[in-house]
Structure formats: C-alpha cells, structure tokens
Amino acid sequence: MKTPLFKTAFANIKRGWLRVYTESRLLRIVFAKSSWNIAGGALAGVFLVLLGAETDGYGAAMGFGIFFFARGVGTGLGPIIARNVLKDESKWPGLIGKLVIVSGAFYILVSLTLEINLLLTVSLILLAHAASGANWVLSTIMTQRWVEDEMRGRVFSIDMLFMSIAFSISTSVAGYLVEHHNLGIADGILFFGSLMVLSGIMFTLWNPGDSKSATHS
C-alpha cells in the first residue's frame, strides 16, 4: 500500500532535521543562506524592483533589468573568486557570516549613493551579491561534504525550507512597511542592509566548535 504523500514528506523533513540537529557545525551551516535572506529577501525581492521603477531615463523594465543584471553577475562571480582566493577550506565556516556582513555593508553604501551615480550603484549591488553568492556556494559545498549520500537530499530540504521562510518573512515585512508606513527606497535599503550586517555578526558569533557526530564523520 502506498504511503500518503504528505506523511512521507513530513517524515523525510523530520529525518533531515534530526540529522542536522545531531551535528552542531551542520546545524549552524544550514542557517547560512537564511542569515542572508532574512534581509536579502527585502533588498533583492522588493527594493531592487522599486529602485528599477524609479530609475530616471530608463523606464521601469530597463531599470529593473539593470539592477538584476548586476545581481546576476555578482552572484556568478562571487563563487568563482571565493574558490580561487579562499583556498583554506578550514576557514570557510568562519567566513560565512563575514560574507553576509560584507554584503550588507555594500547595500548600506547603495542606500547612500542612490543620488550620486548609477554606475556606482550598480557596481555596489554587484559586489553585494558577489559576497552573497560566495556565501551560498561555500555553505553548499560544506553541507555536501559533511553529510552522507543517503541523507543529503533531506538535509538540503531543511536548508531550503529555512531559506524560504526567511525570504518570505523579509519580503512580507518590507512590503508591509512600504505600503503602510511609507518606507522609502533609500531608507528601506539602509534599514535592511543594516539588518543584514547584524545578522552576519550574529552568525559569526555563533561558534559550535569543531564538534561532529562520530556516527556521521
């Protein structure tokens, strides 16, 4: 007899969570993407769209395309640079939070340069997402290497679940603040960029040590 779909799904989610929870370094690293998305959802999913619509002389579609082009290029370049520069893999766990801080810092600079020069703004967005892309890929590589084959998919589902929740909360809060409290683009980017820096600091201070379950080593 076939097992009900939702029962199977929840059982696999539970198994994935139990696998994550038994290894403190893995528990930390599955929050790497969430630590960026808790603010990055608002920045990339709300304020870049609004910024594109407000770009003088280009129109909403073109402005939107320019900023998402910068986001895409940065996300692509970040992992390539990280893999060639950050070669000591033992330092990767400590770098994840710092990359979130760097990404947030670049977004803070974006908020301060909106009226100065479009090329500067685009460059800063590119750099912010280069740091974010490096965070994503390094954390993914570590998860792949730390988790055995038969549990890897379940662990990644937990990773994606946390990331999706963080992104949804971030975009919802940003949308609410824009619609009901007239939060402007520059102030919104500054606020969520600062939140990203704070999130990165908290992640960096989260030190699980080198503990790992002997069962899964």
Is pLDDT above 60 for 156?
A: yes
Residue 181 lies in a domain: yes
H or E segment and range at residue 151: helix 149-181
Q: What is the CATH number of the domain that holds 167?
A: 1.20.1250.20
Return d(Cα 185, Cα 197) in angstroms, integer.
Answer: 18
**What is the reported pLDDT for 210?**
53
**Mean pLDDT, residues 13-28:** 92
Residue 202 lies in a domain: yes
- Report the predicted TM-score, pTM, of the whole model to 2 decimal places: 0.90
What mean pLDDT is reported for the chain?
91
Given a contact cutoff of 8 angstroms between Cβ atoms, the answer to whether 86 and 141 are in contact is no
Residue 214 lies in a domain: no
- DSSP-assigned letters across all residues of 16-64: HHHHHHT-HHHHHHTTHHHHHHHHHHHIIIIIHHHHHHT-TTTHHHHHH
Q: What percent of the chain has pLDDT over 70?
A: 94
Residue 99 lies in a domain: yes
**What is the reported pLDDT for 38?**
97
**Mean pLDDT, residues 110-135:** 95
**What is the reported pLDDT for 2?**
55
Residue 123 lies in a domain: yes
Residue 20 lies in a domain: no
